[in-house]
Amino acid sequence: MTIDLEKANEIVARFKDVEGALLECLHALQHSFGYVPAETLDIMADGFNISRAEVHGVISYYHDFKTSPTGRTVVRVCQAEACQSMGSRHLSEHVQKKLGINMGETGADGNYSLEAVYCFGNCALSPNIEIDGKLHARVGPDKFDEIINAGEKL
Ligand code: FES
């Protein structure tokens, strides 16, 4: 997939002369493309006068940045302690099998991305799962199937 390089150049040009604005630039790129495309690393390196490796280092340090397109539906499963004690590990296995992808992956058809999250702040109602930004509490495999089947994306 090719990206709109003109748009990427415009975004980098907006930030490149502002001191310490690399993070803002990365956020702007991700906002615009849905992720930080590999093609933009050289543009940032040139613009900010740093090495490509330095840009890459910043991207990998912050977990918020995605380096590949995300699926049309993003499923995030809590892996933190309270949810784990209520079965989120079992739920995660089920979700991976159901969607046919592992944590951190996007399906080849682009329908789903699956992400691990470490606490939604809703521990009292564990295990928690978020689908397209909507939090679902006390989710077991059956409830997950119901929610996903209602979305009819499988
Ligand atoms: S541990 Fe899962 S929401 Fe807090």
Which residues have CB under 8 Å from 64's CB, separation 6+?
27, 30
The enclosing domain of 84 has a CATH number of 3.40.30.10
User: 109 and 40 share a domain?
Assistant: no
Mean of pLDDT values over 37-65: 94
For residues 78 and 104, state if they share a domain: yes
Quote the pLDDT of residue 30.
Answer: 93
Domain containing 114 equals: 73-151
Give the mutation target among 78, 125, 130 for probing the ligand 1 site: most ligand atoms within 8 A of CB: 78
Same-domain check for residues 105 and 41: no
Does the pLDDT value for residue 153 go beyond 60?
A: no
With respect to residue 33, please indicate whether it lies within any of the assigned structural domains. Answer: yes
The model's confidence at residue 1, banded by pLDDT at 50, 70 and 90, is low
Verify whether ligand 1 is closer than 6 Å to residue 123 (CB atom).
yes
| Helical ranges in the chain per DSSP H | 5-15, 22-33, 40-48, 52-61, 81-85, 88-99, 141-151
Express each pLDDT in 81-102 by its tens digit: 999 999 999 999 999 999 999 9
Q: Answer whether residue 110 shows pLDDT above 80.
A: yes
Portion of the chain with pLDDT greater than 90, in percent: 81
